Amino acid sequence: MNVSPLQTRDYLTRWAFGLAAGTLLVWGTSPWFVRSYHSRVFDPVCHDWVYPASTQYRWRSEGYATTTIGVHGMPGRTNLPPSTTERVIALWGDSQAEGVCVADSDKLWSQLESEIAGSKNASFAVLPMARSGEDALDWTSRFARVEKQLGVTEHFVLICELEDLESLAESQSNADSNALAEAAIPGRTDIDVPVESLSVNAVPQWLDLVPDFVVHAARGLIFDGDTSQIRTLRFRPGPVASTAVTQSTQTSATVDPNQPPEAFPASVIARRLADATTNPITMIYAPQIPVVMGDRIIRSDAHDSQFRMLEAALAEQGITVIDCRDGLWGAAAQGHFPHGFNNGRIGSGHLNETGYRVIAAQVGAKAGSNSR
């Protein structure tokens, strides 16, 4: 069959038009379904690479929200409180405290500020300093800096998993965390520069120039979604010989069954927290309970004994502890689960608006008692 040059050109034109139209359609609709990707800048106060101020950060996979990034990478807070503010509290934690899954007005820092400011006469502000993937070693290394640069007078630490505190016991001293923070500073960064002169790079970086759906597709192609490790490509046909070792097999091979389990280092953690600052610290305990597992609702906290040890150790150091478990249980009993979203799994995952509201209410009721 002979194809004339005119027909060939017609086929190529249709293919090119279809490719361009399809790409534009995906590009135009992707903000409804795909999270955003942005370049980061180094902030000398946070000692971390943060999103620049005014960044509109979209989150779509669990929850559905757009977060406005403020100064120093603060999610949802676009301005600093006046210098006359009497109580300035830094809120620390991981992604559970960061709250990009919910709207800015529903984030924990915002609900805490509304709850406590509404019940106290003193001026009050909460600075959201939580970052996804961080632990207590990261938080304590920044206590002194935010106190000096941002006028922080107190610290709230949201703990959803006790293992986030164990890094304090694994480090030799608080000096280790400070040394790590110093090593993270890029060359010629003035860490003592006044807050008013801190600025972000206004020049768009390469990541800001690439469409989000392209970055998202490339990320999914290169990295494994479950492990975040680079995918291993295999081109040989046929079955794959399994070389994986289950966790239970590894445990049985390395752990002596006659040896008692390692004790939770509660006293070391409490001492390191107390040594990190002379200002008041309040630890907010809000684990993922209750948990929906199939057709069962698990109400028990598997780490209750460890928490009791930690609670006693923190009390000896003068650190206030607020246990939010009763509030989380109560909300779930009324049919409002504090974890999970409609586009995820109800009763599992990150805290939602209900969870933040419960925590804020319980913290607000005890806001005046955290003195050391």
Residue 307 has pLDDT above 60, yes or no: yes
* Confidence grade of residue 218 (pLDDT, cut at 50, 70, 90): confident
To the question of pTM greater than 0.75 for the whole model, the response is yes
Residue with tokens 């920044």: 142
Which DSSP string do the residues of 96-141 spell out, in sequence order? HHH-TTS-GGGSHHHHHHHHHHHH-SS-EEEEE---TT--HHHHHT
What is the C-alpha to C-alpha distance for residues 237 and 90, in angstroms, rounded to an integer? 55
Q: 184 and 48 in contact (C-beta within 8 Å)?
A: yes
What are the Cα distances from residue 110, in Å, to 76, 126, 226, 340?
A: 8, 7, 32, 20
How confident is the model over 98-156, as pLDDT tens digits? 999 999 999 999 999 988 876 555 688 999 999 998 999 999 999 999 999 999 999 99
Q: Which residues contact 190 (CB under 8 A, 6 or more apart)?
A: 44
Token reading at 282: 């309040």
CA atoms 45, 47, 52, 55: torsion sign: negative
How confident is the model over 43-75, as pLDDT tens digits? 888 878 899 999 999 999 889 999 999 999 999
Token reading at 250: 């590894």
Residue 320 has pLDDT above 80, yes or no: yes
Name the CA radius of gyration of the chain, rounded.
Answer: 24
What is the C-alpha to C-alpha distance for residues 155 and 87, in angstroms, rounded to an integer? 10
What is the C-alpha to C-alpha distance for residues 49 and 44, in angstroms, rounded to an integer? 9
Q: What is the pLDDT of residue 161?
A: 94
Q: What is the pLDDT of residue 242?
A: 60
Classify residue 42 by burial, with Cβ atoms within 10 Å: 0-12, 13-18, 19+. middle
Q: What is the pLDDT of residue 73?
A: 93
Q: Where are the beta strands (DSSP E) in the chain?
A: 41-43, 48-50, 56-59, 65-68, 87-92, 124-128, 154-159, 281-285, 291-293, 296-298, 320-323
Residue with tokens 């992707």: 30
Which domains occur in the chain, in start order? 33-228+263-369 (3.40.50.1110)
Rounded-to-10 torsion of CA 133, 30, 337, 353: 80
Report DSSP state, residue 207.
Answer: H
Classify residue 146 by burial, with Cβ atoms within 10 Å: 0-12, 13-18, 19+. buried
Residue with tokens 């927290």: 273
Q: Indicate the SS3 state at residue 45.
A: coil
353-365 helix and 108-119 helix, angle to the nearest 10 degrees: 30
Find out whether the peptide bond into 290 is cis, omega within 30 degrees of 0: yes
Report DSSP state, residue 53.
Answer: T
Q: 195 and 149 in contact (C-beta within 8 Å)?
A: yes
